[in-house]
Structure 1
C-alpha cells in the first residue's frame, strides 16, 4: 500500500502462524473497526493498516451465483457466465459421491478464477444441507433430499471438492490448511418452513425432540464439520424449542465449535440477528441485547448490520466483552489467511477466463443431469426411442421450451442454455405448443392447439411441473398436485395423441402423478428435476438412448392426501397420534413412488456373500447396558443396548455384492444398502440407508462391489433421550430383495 511498509506489521509476516498474525491484526483495530469487520455489508477498507475491504457473501449452490444485495459476484464482458449445474435435488439423485466431489472442484475452480479477475469473493455460503422433512417445503430444490445420511455425504463430498487444495487435503493443523475457496453448510438447525398458512420462517419456533435433532436434523451438519472440515456454518432464522438458533450457545458453541471441532467461523443467515428483535421478540431484546446474546452464543459474523450498529454499545453497556469480539474476528481472519487473501496461493494464481465455461465443465453439467434423471415408468419398453422410427416430435407443455426454469434459484448466468426444443431438434423435427401460458396454467385456452399438434406427431412429449413461482425460498406449496390446468392438459393431449406419449416432469418437490402412472397411453415418465443449463440436451440423450437412465429418487413421492393428514408444522419424524410418519424411514403408507425408486433400460441381478455375521462384544465394568422400549414385555434381553460412546467401535461388517447386467444395454445401477434394526423395539426406523454405490456395467458384464460398514455407525439407533445406542439382537443388512443377518450380543 502507498506510504506503508507492510513488513512493519506482524500480521503480514508469513513466518508466523495464522493464529499469531490474526491476533496482531485484531489488536490493531479500534472497537468501531472491529464491529465493522463483523458485518458483511459494513466491512470497510482501513488505510492505516493497508487492510482492504472484504465482502463475505457469495453463493455457489450449483455453480457460481449472482445473489445478494449489491452482489460481490458479477458477470460482464470479461466473465459473461459460469457453468450452471443441475439443482442439488437432481444431482443428489445420481447417488454418485465421486460426481458430487467433482462438481465441487469445478465450481471452486470457476469461483477462484472469477476471484482472480475481480468478479467474485472467496467465501461461498453453500451448500444447503437441510433434510426435506415435508414435501411442501419450497426450498427442496436446493437440498440433497430426505435422507440425513445421503445429505451428509453430499455435504462432505461437495465441501471437499470446493475447499481442498491438491496435496493439502489433510494437515496436522487444520486451522492452517489452505483453502481453494471457503464453503458453508447451512442452515443450522431444524429449518424447513418458508411460509405456511401465514406462518413464516422469521417467526417459526420448531418444537423438536432430542431424538429427531440427533438422528435427523443435526446429522448432516455433524458430518459436514467432522468429515468435510467445512470452514463455515450458517445458523438459521427459526427458533428451536424457543431459542433462536443464532442465539443458542448449545447449538453453536457446544456442538458446532467444541464437540464437532469447527475450523472456521459461524455466520448468521442474512438479518437473523435483527429478526430476533423484530419478529421473534425473544426476551424483549433490544439491538444491543440481541447482538450480545448471539456473540456470546458463538456467532462470529452477521450477514446484516446489527453487529456493526449495536456491538460497540453492547460492550460499553457491559453486556458483552470486547474480548468476545476479538475471538470472533480471529476466526474470520484465519479463514481469509487460509484462502490466501493476504498472501496469495501461487498454485491458483494462473486461474482465469480460460478456466470458466470450458468444454469439459459444460460436459460435466450435461453428465450430471443425465445421471440424475429418473425413469419412473416405461411400459412396453417404449424408451429409448429410435430416431429413425420417430421423426415428427410434438413438444408440449409449459416447460417444453424451458431455459431459466431449468437452473432454478441461487444461480448465476449460464454458459449456454440448451432448451428441450434445441436438445430434441437434434433427433427429429420438433413442433412446439405451450399448452399453458405459464406454470400456474390458470385456464385451458392453450390446450386445443396442443391437442391438434399431438394428433399428427409420431411421438408426443409433455413437459409439465413446477417452477420458482410455485416452489422457492419464501414459497411453500399447499398441495402435491400439478398446478392449475396442467393435469387437464396432459389428459386431453394423451387422448388425442397419434403416437406414444412421454411425460417429462420438471420439479424438485414431489407430485402425485398417479393419474399418469395408471394411464396406459402414457407409456413412459421421466423425472428430471431442474436439470441445469444443459437440461434439454440431457433429457433428449436419455429419451433417444444415448444415455441409459440410472438416477434414483432422493424423496418419497407421497399421494396427494398426505398433506391433509398433518400440518407442515408437525415436526416429529415418527408417527404421532393421528399423524403419519415422515420420510421412507417412518412412513409406512402407500406412495406414488418410494424413496430410491428408479428404472433402467436394462436389468441387474445381485448376489451377495456372506449371508450371516455375528459380533460378540465383551463389556468391561465401565461399560453399561441401556434399556430399550420393547413392544412385548418378555422380549427384553439381558443387555438390550450399549451407548456407542462407550464402545471402541472398531468392529466392521464386510461383504461383497456381485452385480450383473443381465440385459442387452450398457447402464449404471445404484446399489442401496439399508440397515433394519432388531424386531420389537419401539420407535426404530423401518429401515435406514447406511451405504450406496453407483456402478456402471456393459451389457452382460458383472462386477463385485465391496462394502465396509462400521458396526457402531451403521447399526446404531437413537433413543428418545438422544443417545446413540447399539442394540443387541438380530439386525439385517438389506440390499435389493436380499438380506444379510447380523447378530450383535454383549457379554461380561
Structure 2
C-alpha cells in the first residue's frame, strides 16, 4: 500500500514463598521450552489458583536483579522460569495506536462531545477486540515489540482545565462528571466482562494534578487546594476505581505539593492506595523517575538509587524509561544502601505479574477468552462503520443562520488548509487508518466533483503548509548501465538499519511513498532494516519547493540536506537525489510501524488568489480551518505565533486563515466554517460573520463522510461541547495556576463565546415540567424526571443535561453550577419520552475547604434540566430544600 493520504505519520499483597523448584511455562505467551512434569506442577502454573497467588509464587523464585529488571517497560525474559520478554507500552487513546493499521475513532475530546456512554462502551470494546487480534497475530510470530502488548496506557482522564494545554485533546473535557462517566465505559470496554480474565489492561492517567504546560512539565511543581483536589482533580479517578476494576494507573511528570507526582506520599500512598482504595499497579510516565534527580528537572533527590527507592516505596511499580535506561536497575544497589527493602520490591513485582496472569498470558489459549478474535477484525468494515457513527455523533453545530443543511445540487467551494489534511482525522496517539476520508474527499463524494471547486487557500499557521503530497513518480529517474535516464529510483534494502554489508535486495522504486506491513528486506513482521534510494529529480514546473521527509528518512537534493527552507528548482533540470533510511528501534518506537515518505509542496503559489477564484464558481463557501495535531500536542518543538511547545499561547484562529475568511466574506457568498481543533477556539469573527459554524474536533478516519452528511442534512447534529469556548486567552488565569477559580463552566464568571454543553440541531426539542421532591434528605438518592419532546419536523437526538446549583455556596470551590446527570434521547418528529434519573448523594453535596465531603442538611438547590446549562432556552427547573434525617 503506497498512498500517502492513507498513512501519514510524522504518539497488594507481599509476595510469599512457595515451592523452590523453577517452572517452565509453555502457554500462549511463554518461551518455547520443554516443561518437566514437576515444573509444570509449580503453583504459578496452576490456573486454579488466584492471579495473586500465582504471581506471589513466581516472584518468590526470582533473584533481586531479575525482579528489578521486570520493573521496566521493556521487561526481559527469564528463561529459567519460562517468563518471556514483555513490552508494557501500548496505546489505545482512540484506537490501537502506533502499530500500523487499526480503526481510527474520533480523538478523545470528540468522543466526549457525543455525551454517549453506550457508544463509548462499544468503541472501547471494539478497540480491545482489535488489540487482542493484533497481540495474538504478533505472538504467533514470536514478536514482543513495543505497541504489541495488551497493557494500554489509556484513557487520559485529566481535567481539561485550560484550553491552552496541547494534550487536552486526549481528555474528555473540563467536567469531572462527564469525564468520569466516559472513563468508566472506556475502561470497561477495554478490560471486558469475563469473570476470570482481563481482555486488555486499561490505565487511567495522568494521576492526578496534571494538565500542562507542556514545555515545563518535567520541572513544574503544582499545588491544588483540598477542595479543588476533591471537586475537580480526583473525581474521575475515583469513579473509575469505584465502578470498574481498572488494573493500572499512570503517575505524572510534574511535582505536586513539593514532591514528584510518582513519589508523592500524599498523592500515591494516602490518597491513591488509601482513600481511593486502588490496588492495581502503577506505571510512571516515561522519564518521570529520571526527573526525580535530573538537575534540569525536579532535582528532588541526588542519585538514581534514591529516585528508584523513593518511587517504589511510594507505590510506583513500573518504570517507563526515557532513552537512558531503566531507573529501577538501581534497585539492587538501593537495597544494599538500605534505601528500600526487598519485600517492598516483591510487592511491586507481584502486582505486575498479577496483571499478566489476569490477561491469561501463562495459560492455554483454549482456556482464555478473546484469544480467537481473528486478525480480520482489525479495521473491519463493521468497525470502520462504528467510527463513522462516532464521528457523526461528535460534530457540534455552533451556529446556523439557515444556510444548513445544503440543498442537493449546491455548488460549493471547498477552501482552507484543513480541507484535505490527513492530520485532522487522526490527531495524536493514533493508528493508521485504512479508509482515511478528508473533508474534501467527503464533500466531493457527496456533492459530485462537478459541483466542487477547491483550494487550500493559506498556510495553516505561520509558514506551515498542509498541502504536501508525495513527490510523484513522474519526476523521479535514475541512470541505467548505458547512461540512459529511466523512471524510478535505484533502491537497496538491508537487514542492518545502518546499511552495513551487502543489501538483501535491490530494485527500482517509482518513488518514496511506503507503508510496509512487513520488513521489505526479509519479510519479517517487526525486524529493523535500512534502505537507500538514488537518482535524480526533474521538476515539471519551475518553482519554490519545500520538502518534508518522514521519520528515519534523510534526504539530499542537489547536494543539500532538505530542511525548513524551500528550494528553487527549474523545470527540466536534473537534480541529484539521495535518501537513506534506517529503522532502528528506540525508546519510543519499535519496528511494528514502518513507513518512508518523501513529500513536497510549492510555496510560491498564490493560494489566496486560488481560493478567491474557487469561491467565484460556487454558491456556498465551505471553509475548513482550525489547527491540527502538528501544532497542539505533547511536548512539541513548535514555536510560532500562537503556539509554544505543544501548547497554545492564543485561542485565535491563526492569522493566515482569519485574513482569508475575511476576504471570502467579501464575495457575498454564504460562508460556512468547519473548525478542526482538539481544544477551544476563540472564533469571535466567525461567530459574527459566518453563516454557519461546525466544530469538528478531530473526527477519525471517516471524518469527511460524516461532515458532508451533516452539511447536506443526512442527519441532525447532536454533538455538544465538552469544554467552554472562551472569547480570549485574556479571560483566563495564568496557565500554571492550578486553582479552579474562573476556570471551566463551573467557576467562570465571564461570558463565554459558546458554553460547555452547547450545540444546535436541525430540529427543536421541548422539555416538560420537572418532577422531583420539594424537600429531600440529601443522604438519599434524589429522583428527577421530566419529558422531552421533538417539536420539529425531522428526527433527531437530544443530549439531556441536568445541573445542580446550590443557592448558598459554602466556599469558593463549591461550583456555581454542576452537571449531575446526562443522557442521549433519540426522537422521531412529535415523539415524547420521559427521562428519569436518580441523583446519587455524592451528586447532591459539595466539598468543604478541607476536602471533606459535605452532605447538606439544610439549604436549597435548584435542579435544572434541558439541552444545555441553566439559562439555556427551554430548560425546566425546580428548587429543592435539603433537610436532615
TM-score when scaled to structure 2?
0.75
How far the C-alpha of 1:26 sits from its partner, in A, is 0.5
1:441–1:486 Cα contact (<8 Å) kept: no
**Equivalences for 1:208-607 in 2 at 5 Å?**
208-278=224-294, 279-304=296-321, 305-343=325-363, 344=365, 345-379=367-401, 381-388=402-409, 390=410, 392-428=411-447, 429-440=451-462, 445-474=606-635, 475-497=646-668, 499-519=669-689, 522-562=690-730, 566-574=733-741, 581-607=742-768
Distance in 2, matches of 1:4 and 1:350, equals: 25
Residue range with higher mean Cα deviation, 21-30 or 680-689: 680-689
| SS in structure 1 at match of 2:666 | helix
Distance 1:4 1:407, change over 3 A: same
Distance 2:412 2:81 in 1: 65
CA distance in 1 between counterparts of 2:248 and 2:33 reads 33
**2:460, 2:656 within 8 Å by CA — same for their partners in 1?**
no
CA separation of 1:440/1:416 partners in 2, compared to 1, >3 Å: closer, same or farther? Answer: farther
* Contact 1:131/1:145 (8 A) holds in 2: yes
Contact 1:441 1:485 in 2 (8 A): no
Q: Which whole-Å CA distance do the structure 2 matches of 1:687 and 1:254 have between them? A: 30
**CA offset digits 1:620-661 (Å, max 9, x no partner):** xxxxxxxxxxxxxxxxxxxxxxxxxxxxx4x12112120100
Q: CA deviation at 1:593?
A: 0.6
Which of the two has greater helix per residue? 1
Q: For 2:131, what is the secondary structure of its paired residue?
A: helix
| CA distance in structure 2 between the aligned counterparts of 1:349 and 1:680, rounded to whole angstroms | 53
Give the CA RMSD over aligned residues. 1.7
Secondary structure class of the residue paired with 1:39: coil
CA distance in 2, matches of 1:616, 1:34: 53
Matched, 1:2 2:30: no
C-alpha distance in 1 between matches for 2:437 and 2:657: 24
Unaligned runs of 5+ in 2: 1-31, 465-602, 636-645, 867-874
d(CA) in 2 for partners of 1:307, 1:29: 19
1:46 maps to 78
1:716-739, Cα deviation, whole Å (9 max, x unpaired): 111211111123211111113211
Distance in 1 (CA, whole Å) between partners of 2:651 and 2:670 is: 26
Residue number among 150, 160, 167 corresponding to 2:188 in the alignment: 160
For residues 14-53 of structure 1, what are the structure 2 equivalents within 5 Å?
Answer: 14-41=47-74, 43-53=75-85
Task: State whether residues 293 and 303 of structure 2, in contact with CA within 8 Å, keep that contact through their aligned partners in structure 1.
Answer: yes
Q: Which of 153, 164, 183 is the matching residue for 1:125? A: 153
User: In 1, Cα distance between the equivalents of 2:247 and 2:729?
Assistant: 42
Map of 2:118 onto structure 1: 98
Shift of 1:440: 3.8
Mapped contact 2:151–2:200 kept (Cα < 8 A): yes
C-alpha change, 1:616 and 1:237, in structure 2 (3 Å) is closer
Aligned position for 1:55: 87
Contact 1:611 1:739 in 2 (8 A): no
Alpha-carbon distance in structure 1 between the residues aligned to 2:419 and 2:700 = 14
1:156-214 per-position Cα deviation (integer Å, ceiling 9, x unaligned): 11000110235x3xxxxxxxx4210000000012111133xxx5100010121111111
CA deviation profile, 1:568-589 (whole Å, cap 9, x unmatched): 0111112xxxxxx100000020
- Is 1:229–1:262's contact at 8 Å kept on the other side of the alignment? no
Give the equivalent residue in structure 2 for 1:632. none
Q: Which residue of 2 aligns with 1:628?
A: none
Q: Which moved more, 1:275-284 or 1:145-154?
A: 275-284
In 2: Cα distance, 1:156 partner to 1:548 partner: 27
1:46-91 Cα offsets, whole Å, 9 max, x none, are 111111111100000000001xxxxxxx33xxxxx11000101011
- Answering whether residue 865 of structure 2 is matched by residue 697 of structure 1, we say no
Q: Deviations over 1:462-521 (max 9, x none)?
A: 000011232111111001111131100111112125x421110001111111111111xx
Alignment correspondent of 1:743: 881
1:155/1:228 contact within 8 Å kept: no
Deviations 1:266-314, CA, capped at 9 Å, x for gaps: 1100111001111444443310001111111011111114444211100
CA offset digits 1:126-147 (Å, max 9, x no partner): 0000001111001111010000
Q: Specify the SS of the correspondent of 1:686.
A: coil
What is the deviation of 1:356? Answer: 1.3
- CA drift of 1:566 comes to 2.6
| Alpha-carbon distance in 2 for matches of 1:361, 1:9 | 42
Aligned mates of 2:606, 2:853 — CA distance in 1: 57
Does residue 88 in structure 1 map to residue 108 in structure 2?
yes
Q: Determine if contact 2:197/2:359 at 8 Å carries over to the other structure.
A: yes
Cα separation, partners in 2 of 1:136 and 1:399, compared to 1, 3 Å: same
Contact 1:194 1:473 in 2 (8 A): no
For the residues of structure 2 that align with 1:735 and 1:609, how far apart are their CA atoms? 8
What SS is found at the alignment partner of 1:314?
Answer: helix
Q: Is the 8 A contact 2:290 2:327 kept in 1?
A: no
Q: Which has the larger radius of gyration?
A: 2
What is residue 609 of structure 1 aligned with on the other side? 770
TM-score, scaled to structure 1: 0.88
Given that 1:61 and 1:410 are in contact with CA atoms closer than 8 Å, whether structure 2 keeps it comes out as yes
Q: 1:730 aligns with which of 860, 864, 877?
A: 860
CA contact (8 A) 2:446 2:709 kept: no
Q: CA deviation at 1:216?
A: 0.4
Partners of 2:292 and 2:300 within 8 A in 1? no
Partner of 1:432, secondary structure, is: strand
Is the contact made by 1:395 and 1:421 (CA closer than 8 Å) also made in structure 2?
A: yes
For 1:541 and 1:676, the matched residues in 2 are separated by: 38
Which whole-Å CA distance do the structure 2 matches of 1:332 and 1:63 have between them? 24
Structure 1 Cα separation of the partners of residues 33 and 847 of structure 2: 60
